[in-house]
Structure 1
Amino acid sequence: MGLTVRDIVQMSIMQTAKIRCGKSFLDKKVVEWVTVIELPVENFVKKNELVLSTGIGCEDDPNLLEQFVKDIIDSEASVLGLATGRYIYDIPDQVLELAKKHQFIILEIPWEIRFGDILKIVLEKINQDKQGERQKAETVRQELINCVLHGKSLQDIANLLYKYTKIPVAITDQTQTIRAERHFDKKLIQVFFEKELGQLQQIPHLNILFSEHPLYHFMEEYMVNDQMCFQLSILNNQKSQGSLFIQLEDREQLTWFVMNVLEHALTACALYFVKENAVEMTKIRLNDNFILNLAKTKGVVTSQIISKAQLLGHDLTRPYICIVGEVSLKEVKNKRKVQQEVKSLQSLNYYLQKEITNAAKLLHRRNMITFEDGEVIVFLEADHHPYMETANQFLDIIERRLYELLTGVVLSWGIATHKDGHYAFHESYKEASTALDIGKRQKDVGQRTFFSDTKINRLLMAISKDDEIAEIVKTTIQPLLDYDRKRQTDLIYTFMIYNKYKGNVSQTARVLNLHRQSLLHRLRNIESLTQLSLVDSDDLFLLELSVRLWMLKEI
């Protein structure tokens, strides 16, 4: 608690002093400093001071002395020592009644006792007491830091904090989850974070003794259902890692020692979160590297790999299907605004991984996730259910939630076939990656492409590698490409829609939003440039094959 008025009156120099009022409060009043003052008081007296005065100027006016004492009481001083025998010979009853009314302590000090001697002895005692508190605070600091260095928990930090301050405490992380508490009313935190109307009132100014302490500027005081609660932010590089809450009955509990212990506790909590984040980031990197190697390395899954997976929380003995995804932005007028929206959410990967994990939990399936170069690789646990149905259900959940968060984001997916055996991670990844690539080449942005549905495309990709076929495709398509580039038209797209609707001119014109005659003009241009007839089945097949091969290979 520090130096009390009882400690003062028990000093040898104060043996002849008399306690004229407030004897029952000697143990409750703390003395932080000592000052000598006469009229006027103004703002020269601070809270918890021992005030010494001769009463000069008030010797013939009891009312003036009463006002002088009232000003000292209003300054929240702890005790007034009046020297009697020169100016004041007896303390008036009205002054004693005033002190009694305000539970204030008045000492009558004989004139023979020098104020200078009192000042010297009291200040030495205050300094000794402060030194003891500093040593005790340093001991607490070391214990708190050792909690972090020796791998102890936040609960151990909370226990130490309560041990030395006897103040209920709670520690939350940046997700507002209570990580540790000691005798703290959890309902206060619930009200605080939910900010229930009428139950949370912020106090604009802290009226505490040690307002000069640096921690003072980082404390927020609230009244929650008439309960005093202080919030202190746990910061690391100016970023919030969580909060430290203390529950007080009186602001007088925030002594110099308590303020320093709280400051050391904040440092210990910040170090703990830094250490925890570092461990988590290391685990994430190990996990990412493991899954990437699993997906991209061709080879046998050994018992050593299975054991390593178990350490990372994965079970490779179960069957999995591979899903590969890619994120892109919609081609909209306010694309810059969309980019700013994505950027403001800090990390797209974080949100995507969160939704993937949540979707897997909802379906009660294990999953393994990693990211590389804008690509997300997911291994989702499979079972006896049709794998296409499982994949679609899984992706539906992800997209529904993610599109609500990021309105400008588009997800494209490639899904491998379900393997009957186990440990086909590399093969599954290759299939899913191929399916995604084919979907992208077909301009199916935001679509799901199953590897099992890409047979014709894979066949076309295989034959497109032949040099002679590539030359035929180029010769057939090049006139259309040149015409489109010069005239800013899109004859190839026109042909694709025309072929899609099996030569139905009216339906094609409606889809392309063209007049019928304009469409017919385009079709004649296509025939003229390619020297192929759109009504000849062989010519139509050659043109369709050439366009599809060009789209896949972009020859």
Structure 2
Amino acid sequence: MVLTVSTIMQMPVMKVCEVKTGKQLLEQKPIEWVSVIELPVENFVRKNEFVLSTGIGCEDNPNLLESFVQDVIQSGVSVLGFATGRYIYNIPDRILEKANQNDLIIIDIPWEVRFTDIWQSVMDKITEVKHKERQKVEDARQELINCVLKDKGLEEIAHTLYKHIKIPVAITDSEKRWRALKFFNKDILENYSLEVQEGHLHPIPLSDIKFQEHPLYYHMKEYKFYKDRFFQLQILNNHKVQGYIVFQPSDNKELTWFVMNVLEHALTACALYFVKENAIELTEIRLKDNFVLNLAKNKLKIDHQLLTKAHLLRYDLNLPYVCIVGDIRNKDLGSDKHDTLDNPYHSSLRSFNYYIQKEITYAGRLFERKTMTTFEKGEVILYLQVEDPSYHDVANQFLDTIERRLSQLLSDIDISWGIALQKESTYPFYESYEKAKTALEIGLQHDGPGNRTFYSDTRINRLLMAISQEENIHEIVKDTLRPLLEYDKKRQTDLIFTFKTYNKYKGNVSQTARELNLHRQSLLHRLRKIESLTHLSLIEADDSFLLDLSVRLWMLNKIK
């Protein structure tokens, strides 16, 4: 609600006063304050004031009076009221003409009318208007907060906000995806979001300072998108951006004190909504985490009760899945994956898991496949919907997408994966997890961190692991490799790695030498040393098999 000159002129104290200029502006010109001023004007009056003056000091000097009026015009006042009958009897025509040219309303006030009466009446009216405006702000605040308290959504908040400010408005999340809007152009929103994210759209200097007195002004950003101009305000909670309110006034004059205050309360309502939404999401995430962890770690039959519980969490256990287990560790801290979680760079396991979960969700949407994910002490457990014939390709493409995006955020992290297809059984989720876990452990022991291992590709390793449990085998491996291990330790060489490479190239000396970056004679010297230490011949099939089997079992880390 704005107090205009028209309302002021209807007060009893103003009945005997005459409007000399700007009659057509009475409904437009606002009154925010009233003051009494004589020469000089300087900085003593401000915009939208009702200025009262007797013209003292200018009675015999029309030029000085005109200069006084010019200063008042430059100050941006709405009304200049002259008390006539003592110092000024008639307002010169040239002053009236100047006032008309500059949209200044001049009022002729009879000398008998006391300024204190006018001042009191106008201030009472200003106070009344301000009180009504504050009450309107309070009503808007209560209505906006009730949207949250009564479990209404962002659409209702946007509707309520528009109802009070009558400006097209939209509410987005922290990634500038729109969540609710009221008469705001969707195309502008979607393009604006993309342009800002790609760094092509930047805020411009605020184009008007009319609302600069409100604290919210300093938190606003103004954007120009082609011919459209709009403003943005951050929705903050605990210094973290939860989303944005975007609004598009047709003119900056619409951003009044009332509008700015309602926007401020809308920010509070939106922040509360996002806090509530985040709390609900966190609760749901915990329930989902526990459900999937329980599914993986315990022998659970897929019965009606389990299917119903899964359905409540929006999971479908009837779909075919592949189980993927990931091991997370810091490249700089070696094999202790728990050190990764204590690294201040990641701040907490929960924040790290957030990035993993976010990329898994993104990849799931990209490939249009259902996912179920949980985390436990640096381990990622993921069930990915996939059909039997294509599970190798789908799993690799899925993990490629996750790793490519994560590498930009977490460059100091190695993630190793074990993958196992779910088979029909009494406990399909438990058994596929155990297989994926086994594949992961074999991959870490055989290839080190940062690799992927499919359970179906570990048959020889699993066979070797089973063999290694035999005590006799244990002794044979020890006896076979002890001379090589002792020699390597004493001479700082790596004869075992030399043999592995030699065996990899099926006894081709030239290829082995190139791979090890050795001179051919140096390689032959090493091979003779292996034969002399082990008393085995590398050209005899049985001897070569025994040495290869012993090295494989030793590499699995099962034989000490």
Per the normalisation by structure 1, the TM-score is 0.90
Shift in alpha-carbon separation, 1:453–1:249, aligned structure 2, 3 A: closer
Q: Does 1:541 align with 2:541?
A: no
Which segment is superposed worse, 431-440 or 50-59?
50-59
Query: What's the secondary structure of 2:314's corresponding residue?
Result: coil
In structure 2, stretches of 5+ residues that fail to align are 334-341
SS at match of 2:319: coil
Are residues 89 and 422 of structure 1, via their aligned partners in 2, closer, same or farther at CA, if it must alter by over 3 Å?
Answer: farther
Write the distance in 2 (CA, Å) between the matches of 1:536 and 1:385: 41
Identity, in percent, stands at: 60
In the alignment, is the contact (CA less than 8 A) between 1:203 and 1:223 conserved in 2? yes
CA displacement 1:364-383 (0-9 Å, x = unmatched) = 43322223233222222243
Change (3 A) 1:153 1:421: same
- Offset at 1:457? 1.1
Select the residue among 418, 424, 436 that pairs with 2:428. 424
Report if aligned partners of 1:161, 1:265 keep a CA contact under 8 Å in 2. yes
Q: Does 1:237 align with 2:238?
A: yes
Report if the CA contact (8 A) 1:439-1:447 is conserved: yes
- Deviation, 1:320, is 1.9
1:280–1:119 Cα change, 3 Å = same
Question: Cα 1:153–1:397, aligned 2, differ >3 Å: closer, same or farther?
Answer: same
Deviations 1:385-430 (A, max 9, x none): 3543443454455455555776665543222144145850000110
How many Å apart are 1:316 and its aligned residue? 0.8
Structure 1, residues 239-269: CA drift from partner, whole Å, max 9, x if none?
2222212212232222222111111011111
Deviations 1:269-290 (A, max 9, x none): 1111121122222212211111
Sort the Cα spacing of 1:515 and 1:296 in 2 relative to 1 into closer, same or farther, 3 A.
same
Deviation of 1:463 after TM superposition, in Å, equals 2.6
Change in Cα spacing, 1:247 to 1:132, as seen in structure 2 (3 Å) is same
1:502-536 CA-to-partner distances (Å, cap 9, x unmatched) read 33222211111111222222223333443444344
Change (3 A) 1:509 1:310: same
Q: Which residue does the alignment assign to 1:519? A: 523
Q: Give the structure 2 partner of residue 291 of structure 1.
A: 292
* Aligned residue number for residue 144 of structure 2: 144
Aligned to 1:493, the other structure's residue is in SS state helix
| SS of equivalent residue, structure 2 residue 117 | helix
Conservation of the 8 A alpha-carbon contact between 2:18 and 2:108 = yes
Instruction: Provide the rounded CA distance (Å) in 1 between the counterparts of 2:521 and 2:534.
Output: 20
Is 1:107 aligned with 2:143? Answer: no
Given that residues 177 and 190 in structure 2 are in contact (C-alpha distance below 8 angstroms), is that contact kept between their aligned partners in structure 1?
Answer: no
Which stretch shows the higher mean deviation, 204-213 or 276-285?
204-213
Task: State the alpha-carbon separation in 1 of the partners of residues 473 and 395 from structure 2.
Answer: 36
**Partners of 1:40 and 1:243 in 2: CA distance:** 47
Cα distance between partner residues in 2 of 1:80 and 1:511: 95
- Structure 1 residues 432 and 509: CA distance shift in structure 2, 3 A: same
The CA distance in 2 between the partners of 1:150 and 1:392, in whole Å, is: 46
SS of 2:248's partner is strand
Work out whether residues 324 and 377 of structure 1, in 8 Å CA contact, stay in contact via their aligned partners in 2. yes
Decide which of 443, 462, 465 is 2:466's aligned counterpart: 462
TM-superposed CA distance for 1:541, in Å, is: 2.9
How many pairs does the alignment contain?
A: 548
2:321 and 2:421 in contact (8 A); partners too: no
Q: 1:39 to 1:257 in 2, by over 3 A?
A: same
Deviation at 1:20, TM superposition (A): 1.1
Cα 1:298–1:142, aligned 2, differ >3 Å: closer, same or farther? Answer: same
Q: Comparing 306-315 with 465-474, which one deviates more in the overlay?
A: 465-474
Kept in 2: contact 1:208–1:254 (CA 8 A): no
Letter paired with 1:229? F
Residues 1:393 and 1:423: Cα distance change in structure 2 (over 3 Å): farther
Does the CA contact (< 8 Å) of 2:307 and 2:317 recur in 1? yes
When the two chains are superposed, the root-mean-square deviation of aligned CA atoms in Å is 3.0
Deviation string, structure 1 residues 131-159 (Cα, Å, up to 9, x no partner)? 22222211211110110111111111111
* 1:251 matched residue in structure 2: 252
> Structure 1 residues 37-46 or 183-192, which shifts more?
183-192
3-state SS of paired residue (1:248): coil
Partner SS, residue 447 of structure 2: coil
Distance 2:322 2:48 in 1: 72
Look up the equivalent residue of 1:144 and give its one-letter code. L
Structure 1 pair 83/479, CA: closer, same or farther in 2 (3 Å)? farther
Is the 2:388–2:421 contact (alpha carbons within 8 Å) kept by the matching residues of 1?
Answer: no
Aligned residue among 467, 484, 488 for 1:480:
484
Secondary structure, counterpart of 1:503 in structure 2? coil
Residues 74-116 of structure 1: CA deviation (Å, up to 9, x unaligned): 2111111111112111111111111111222111112222222
Kindly indicate whether the alpha-carbon contact (under 8 Å) linking 1:3 and 1:126 is maintained by their aligned counterparts in 2. yes
Provide the rounded CA distance (Å) in 1 between the counterparts of 2:274 and 2:372. 26
8 Å contact 1:318–1:422 — kept in the other structure?
Answer: no
CA distance in 2, matches of 1:86, 1:486: 117
Residue 63 to residue 225, structure 1, CA distance change in 2 (3 Å): farther
- Whether the 8 Å contact between 1:19 and 1:108 is mirrored in structure 2 is yes
Tell whether 2:475 aligns with 1:496. no
1:187 shift after superposition: 4.2
Q: Which position in structure 2 is the counterpart of 1:265?
A: 266
Give the structure-2-normalised TM-score. 0.89
- Counterpart of 1:380 (choices 384, 391, 414) is 384
Distance 1:456 1:481 in 2: 24
Any unmatched runs of 5+ in structure 1? 333-338
* Residue in 2 that maps onto 1:370: 374
For the Cα contact (< 8 Å) 1:208–1:252, is it kept in 2? no
